[in-house]
Amino acid sequence: MCKDRLGKKRGEEEANDILKNDLHPFNDVLERFIPNNDSVEEFNIRLKEMGYMDEFKFNG
């Protein structure tokens, strides 16, 4: 996608930057959840849509 949008060289640089600096382990999503914009129930629905099969329990 970056290559299509930015061209081969710049696209590869952009993609590598994203992979290096912006992606985090999925477990970080679970650990950093705060029920400000979503309830725990809504968050569990979103997690299931992403393929997470366990039931998330908020320990805040």
pLDDT given for residue 16 in this prediction: 92
Structurally, the chain folds into a number of domains equal to 1
Task: Specify if 32 maps to a domain.
Answer: yes
Q: Which residues contact 30 (CB under 8 A, 6 or more apart)?
A: 56
Residues spanned by the domain of 44? 25-60
Pick from 2, 25, 24: nearest CA to 13: 2
Report yes or no on 6 lying in a domain.
no
* pLDDT tens for each residue of the chain, 60 residues long: 777 888 888 889 988 999 999 988 989 989 999 999 999 999 999 999 999 999 999 987
Does residue 20 form part of some domain? Answer: no
The reported pLDDT for the residue numbered 57 is: 92
Q: Is 55 exposed, middle or buried (0-12, 13-18, 19+ CB in 10 A)?
A: exposed
Q: pLDDT at position 6, please?
A: 83
> Are the beta carbons of 55 and 29 closer than 8 angstroms?
no
57 occurs within a structural domain? yes
Write down the pLDDT at residue 8: 86
Determine, yes or no, domain membership for 41. yes
Q: How far apart are alpha carbons 13 and 7 in whole angstroms?
A: 10
Residue 11 lies in a domain: no
Q: 35 φ, ψ to 5°?
A: -75, 60
Its pTM stands at 0.63
